Amino acid sequence: MAADLQAKYSKLAQEYSKLRAQNQVLKKGVVDEQANSASLKDQLKQRDQSLRKVEQEMDSLSFRNQQLAKRVELLQEELVTSEAKSKKGKSKGDSPSQQGLQTQSVFDEDLQKKIQENERLHIQFYEAGEQHRHQEGQMRARLEELESQSAQHQAVVDGLNARYTEAVERLQTDKARMETKSQTLEHESKECRMRAEECQQQLRRCQAELSRQLKQSSSVIQEKVPFNDTKLSDFNSLNVPAHNRRHQLKARDLAGQALAFVQDLVAALLNFHSYTEQRVHIYPRDSSIEPISPLNQKFSQYLHENAAYVRPLEDGLLQLHQSITEDTVTVLETVGKLKLFADHFSAYSHFLQKILPYQLKSLEEECNAPFCTAALTAKNRELQRDVTCITTQFDKLSNYINLLALPSVRQDALPQTSMSAVFTQLSACLHSLQDAVKEMSKHYSQKASLEGELSNVTEKLRTTTECLLGSLVSLTNCTSKIATFFSNNLDFFTSSPGYGPKGGPATLDPLQAESMLANKKKAATYLHAIQKPRPQSVPYKEALANRRVLTSSTESREGLTQQVHQSQEKIARLEQEKEHWLLEAQLGKVRLEKESQRIGELEAQLAAAARGAPASVAPATAVPPADASAHDQDDAEAAPKCPGTEPTTSTSLVGMLSTTFSTENVGDEESREQLIKDHYMARVGELTSQLQVSDSKAVHFHAECRALAKRLALAEKSREALSEEVKVANQNVTRLQDDLATTKRSYEDQLSMMSDHLCSMNETLSKQREEIDTLKLGSKANAKKNKGR
């Protein structure tokens, strides 16, 4: 604020001095013009007087001329009468005729003299009138000019007076405001002096404390540190540099922006080459009507392969962008993917150089067409120069990108001092490429307008030309964005990333980068470990009570463990018995059903036997002994297999089953096996259902854990971003505080200078007032003396 006021005040003072000098010059000019106008007015009055005299003379001469004309008329009348008398009196003698002749000759001479004098007076009168009119016109023009100049001078004087009054009023208000500010600043300066004294005291104390700490640290270093490895470059090169996270984030951001620009550039180049291929098939010969030339066929074949050279540019830069992360080190020595992008760019540059001769010959063929005009030929020549220039610029870009990719292959290939020059030349080459593409787009649009005026241009050619112009416009925009982006971030590219040991060179070895990243991970894990919240501590009284409970419970711990084991064994036995009795119940049900069926069959046989004849009794009664003998044989066969009726026990994963073999038929055994099989199948089904439920729960829990992990990662990223913002905000606050202190000091200095200037101005004003007073007194004394005389 004070600097602006000082600048305004100095500008006002300079303008005031200039206007004052101009005012004096204008005053002198106005006085001179007033004197000139007065002299011209006097001359005008004199001329008016002379004009009046001439007019009076003219009036008198005209009156005299009239008198002479009347006199001439009278004389002519007298002449006529005299001639008449002479004719009458011829006969009277010669004496009167001689007298008449003498008088006639006298009159003729007198008349001739009067006529000559009249002519001379007329000539003089006409010349005097012309001269008077000419002088009068000159005087009037001069008078109008002087009046306009005087009006202009008067307007300038009025404007200067108004400006002077405004400037004086403004300066007076500024003076009053500055006086008030000077008073406040004096009060503040007193407070600042007091603060300065306090700060000096604090500075003395801090200096004493720092000197003490310096002595202590120097003694500790001399006693504890065996040697200083930063003094020797060989030892210092073994130190691991610190990781610059801000540089990594900036590099990744710039790589993402460059990837977006290169994607637009790739799309524009693909469209340009594709539409150029379509145009070659249409113009100057339409391939659907007649075959095109072998040159254009080869050119079209090469253009058809453009995607194989253009699309790898996007892929290479995408891989470069993916390789730049927060956990990597991004310098020219460690970015290995830059070499891949450089190779792809070199391949595209070689592709452009390969198709350049065919493109030039194709334009030459268009010039040789019969319907090509001179203007189209000139535009084709300009397009040939533009295509050659663009190919040259792409070749230069390829060379510079290969230079930047060399340190990733061989560390000492590009000196550190030459990197900034390479980046600067790369930026200039990008701007040159932008200008060349812009010129090509302009010339192509002019060529398209000239082709549109031809009569043999088809709608297909017009559409292809419009698409080609659109691709050139997008290519121009892409190159402009890339050139602007690179020039805006040239300071970041040319500046050193800060990787390197303290006091050593700024270069970074890949091994140092790996060790740096390893140390970064260790530091991150350490900080994460120390940032874990501590468990809450138990109060002292509660801890004592818990200790008493623990001491009392440890005595009965063994008994409780034994009781638990016993209860577990009982539970296992009860489960086994439960399974056994369930099986026995099922077997009993099956046996009951079979016995009931047999009883029903026997009752039916008995009823049938009671109703049947005696002849049928014998065979009916012969059947049971056979059945009985078969049953006895089965029992006899089963007897060696199951001697006795002792129970047998079978154990499995499901449980323990005790079975008792009897001498019943094989059907019971099969039914028992079927029941056991059904039981196990039911248990397997239950277990599979439980397993499926547990699997579904595990999948659900896994999905929840993944979601929570993602949310945790996002929260960590947001926390890191917020911490970075807080750091940046703190840095901005410190910077603003420093700026505030510097501006405050500058304001104080400027206000002190303004107060000094105001004091000097007050002194000059007081001196001028004293001089004015002395001059007034001197003028009054001179006036009194003149009156006394």
3-state DSSP assignment of residue 293: coil
pLDDT greater than 80 at residue 486: yes
CA 696 from centroid of its chain's CA atoms: 50
pLDDT greater than 70 at residue 359: yes
Is the model more confident about 493 or about 498? Answer: 493
Mean pLDDT on 359-381: 87
- In percent, how much of the chain has pLDDT > 90? 15
Give the highest mean pLDDT range of 142-156, 253-267, 600-614: 253-267
pLDDT of residue 89: 61
pLDDT of residue 159: 82
Give the highest mean pLDDT range of 368-377, 395-404, 529-538, 554-563: 395-404
Model pLDDT for residues 428-443, shown as the tens digit of each residue: 999 999 999 999 999 9
pLDDT greater than 50 at residue 33: yes
Mean pLDDT on 540-559: 71
Give the residues across from 649 on adjacent strands.
Answer: 658
What is the token pair recorded at 737?
A: 């505080």
pLDDT greater than 70 at residue 180: yes
pLDDT of residue 29: 78
pLDDT greater than 70 at residue 15: yes
- In percent, how much of the chain has pLDDT > 70? 81
Give the residues across from 651 on adjacent strands.
Answer: 656
Mean pLDDT on 271-286: 86
Q: Are 443 and 383 in contact (CB under 8 A)?
A: yes
Give one DSSP letter per residue of 591-646, joined into a string: HHHHHHHHHHHHHHHHHHHHHS-STTHHHHHHHHHHHHHHHHHHHHHHHHHS-S--
Q: What value, to the nearest 5°, has the Cα angle with vertex 360 and ends 358 and 365? A: 90
pLDDT of residue 501: 53
* Calpha distance 620→624 (Å, rounded): 8
Q: Are 335 and 323 in contact (CB under 8 A)?
A: yes
pLDDT greater than 60 at residue 502: no
**Mean predicted lDDT score pLDDT of the chain:** 78
* Calpha distance 202→239 (Å, rounded): 38
pLDDT of residue 497: 64
pLDDT of residue 616: 40
Sign of the torsion angle spanned by Cα atoms 683, 684, 690, 693: negative
* Calpha distance 755→181 (Å, rounded): 9
Mean pLDDT on 298-306: 89
* Calpha distance 89→101 (Å, rounded): 13
Model pLDDT for residues 83-135, shown as the tens digit of each residue: 787 676 655 544 555 565 666 677 777 778 878 887 888 888 888 888 888 88
What is the token pair recorded at 192?
A: 């600042």
Please tell me whether the overall predicted TM-score, pTM, comes out greater than 0.85 for this model: no
Give alpha helix (H) positions in 225-306: 233-236, 245-282, 294-304
Is the model more confident about 580 or about 537? Answer: 580
Is the model more confident about 75 or about 378? Answer: 378
* Calpha distance 654→596 (Å, rounded): 33
Count the neighbouring beta carbons within 10 Å of the beta carbon of residue 104: 16
* Calpha distance 242→244 (Å, rounded): 6
Buried b (16+ CB within 10 A) or exposed e, 421-456: ebbeebbebbbbbbbbbbbbbebbebbbeebeeeee
459 residue type, one letter: E
pLDDT of residue 496: 64
- Candidate from 164-173, 391-400, 483-492, 542-551 with smallest mean pLDDT: 542-551
Q: What are the domain boundaries of the chain? A: 2-87+102-205, 245-495, 563-603+632-672
pLDDT of residue 372: 83
Q: How confident is the model at residue 470 (pLDDT cuts 50, 70, 90)?
A: very high
Of 392, 396, 423, the C-alpha closest to 407 is 423
Mean pLDDT on 360-383: 87
3-state DSSP assignment of residue 415: coil
* Calpha distance 746→752 (Å, rounded): 10
What is the token pair recorded at 477?
A: 């925009």
pLDDT of residue 527: 74
Model pLDDT for residues 446-461, shown as the tens digit of each residue: 988 888 887 777 888 8
pLDDT of residue 179: 84
* Calpha distance 25→29 (Å, rounded): 6
Half-sphere exposure of 554 (CA within 13 A, CB side): 5
pLDDT greater than 90 at residue 541: no
pLDDT of residue 653: 40
Model pLDDT for residues 224-240, shown as the tens digit of each residue: 666 666 666 655 555 55
Residue labelled with tokens 């029992």: 635
Q: How confident is the model at residue 625 (pLDDT cuts 50, 70, 90)?
A: very low
Give the highest mean pLDDT range of 240-244, 713-717, 782-786: 713-717
Model pLDDT for residues 626-663, shown as the tens digit of each residue: 333 333 444 434 333 333 344 444 444 444 444 444 44
- Candidate from 164-178, 467-481, 489-503 with smallest mean pLDDT: 489-503
